[in-house]
Amino acid sequence: MPARDPHRFVNELDEAAIERLIARLEGRAKDVVFTRLFDKYAGHISPGESAHVLEVGCGTGAMTRSLARRGDFSGRAVGVDQSHPFIEAARRFAAEHGVGDRVDFRVGDAHDLDFPDATFDAAFAHTLISHVTDPQAVLREMVRVVRPGGIVAIFDGDYSSMTYAMPDHDLGHRMDVALTTAAFNNPHIMRDLPRLMPQLGLQLQQAWGDAVVEIGTASYFKSFAETYAPYIIKSGMFSAEAVDAWLAAQHQAMAEGSFFAACNYYTYLATRL
Ligand SMILES: C[S@@+](CC[C@H](N)C(=O)[O-])C[C@H]1O[C@@H](n2cnc3c(N)ncnc32)[C@H](O)[C@@H]1O
């Protein structure tokens, strides 16, 4: 079977796989390695008092909740995701975290957003664009639902830069490629955005990169490897034995303090022309 990005085909996964992804998204949202990256741009996506902000591909709503909890946020945030179980979880978690009155979660397709033109002051996509079927169509929809002068923010990994150390460099590189091919429909998309944004009616205002690196110990990359390595086996790119051996080598490196993994992440802040 060819590689099938689990977040792109989330509606085809069984209940156990959905529960694992919910745990991964919620766990990642508590990981300081990762939360600092959202915090770096969150202040830019709630322009003014009572801003109306959309998160496209909100998953379990962790970033929408995080925005709603900020002291400088006085508006309303709406999260849209294609997965019914994710949206049910998002509503439950928002109520549990006491932000249910400031957020609203809806099932919907990022390629065909069910909102009139110019509904929002800002729209953001946090690790969505690498997963979707047609990134340009999604960007076009984000531009459409944001008012002229409003903000479109895209954050994601440049997953073709993701790497885990292995003593056998060639095997390590091939496993990196297999892992990113299995987990992401568009592993190169963040490199394309500076070219695509102007064509889609967006003026880039700011962009920056962050390297996420774990050396010695691992939390973010441990969960990443454990969640997505099984999809390499499903895709047939490596045998179960080879993937298990790779995962065992990563766990051994964590136990010995010799672990190394890294990936570059990018933030693009643009305005709708
Ligand atoms: C890696 S998760 C990110 C979730 C959330 N933004 C976060 O950072 O916690 C990617 C999300 O994109 C959603 N997604 C993928 N394709 C989509 C589409 N066409 N329309 C709506 N959501 C989509 C998946 O269901 C999944 O929840």
Q: What is the domain-level CATH number for residue 114?
A: 3.40.50.150
pLDDT tens digits, one per residue of 142-158: 999 999 999 999 999 99
pLDDT tens digits, one per residue of 228-244: 999 999 999 999 999 99
pLDDT above 90 for 256: yes
Which of 128, 154, 189 for mutating ligand 1's site (highest number of atoms within 8 Å of CB)?
Answer: 128
Residue 166 Cα to ligand 1 middle (Å): 30
Q: Would residue 232 count as lying in a domain? A: no
Note down the domain range covering 29. 10-158+185-211+265-272
Number of domain units in the chain: 1
* Pairing mode, strands 146-164 and 76-81: unpaired
- For 47-65, b/e burial (b = at least 16 CB within 10 A) is beeebbbbbbbbbbbbbbb
According to the model, what pLDDT value does residue 46 have? Answer: 85
pLDDT tens digits, one per residue of 125-182: 999 999 999 999 999 999 999 999 999 999 999 999 999 999 999 999 999 999 999 9
The token pair at 269 is: 């802040």
List the residue whose alpha carbon is closest to atom 27 of ligand 1. Answer: 59
Q: Would residue 33 count as lying in a domain? A: yes
Contact yes or no for 231/39 (Cβ under 8 A): no
Q: What is the average pLDDT across 69-98?
A: 95
Q: Would residue 238 count as lying in a domain? A: no
According to the model, what pLDDT value does residue 1 have? Answer: 65
Share of the chain above pLDDT 70, in %: 100
Closest residue by Cα to residue 41 from 25, 55, 23 = 55
Residue 244 Cα to ligand 1 middle (Å): 27
Q: What is the average pLDDT across 68-87?
A: 94
Residue 259 Cα to ligand 1 middle (Å): 29
According to the model, what pLDDT value does residue 4 have? Answer: 85
Q: Would residue 166 count as lying in a domain? A: no
DSSP code string of 70-112? STT--SEEEEEES-HHHHHHHHHHHHHTT-TTTEEEEE--TTS
In angstroms, what CA-CA distances link 215 with 169, 220, 253, 261? 17, 11, 10, 7
Residue 56 Cα to ligand 1 middle (Å): 7
Give the pLDDT band (50/70/90) at residue 34. confident
Pocket of ligand 1 (CB under 6 A): 7-8, 10, 25, 29, 57-59, 62-63, 81-83, 86, 109-111, 126-128, 131-132
According to the model, what pLDDT value does residue 262 have? Answer: 98
Residue 206 Cα to ligand 1 middle (Å): 24
Q: Would residue 254 count as lying in a domain? A: no
Q: Would residue 2 count as lying in a domain? A: no
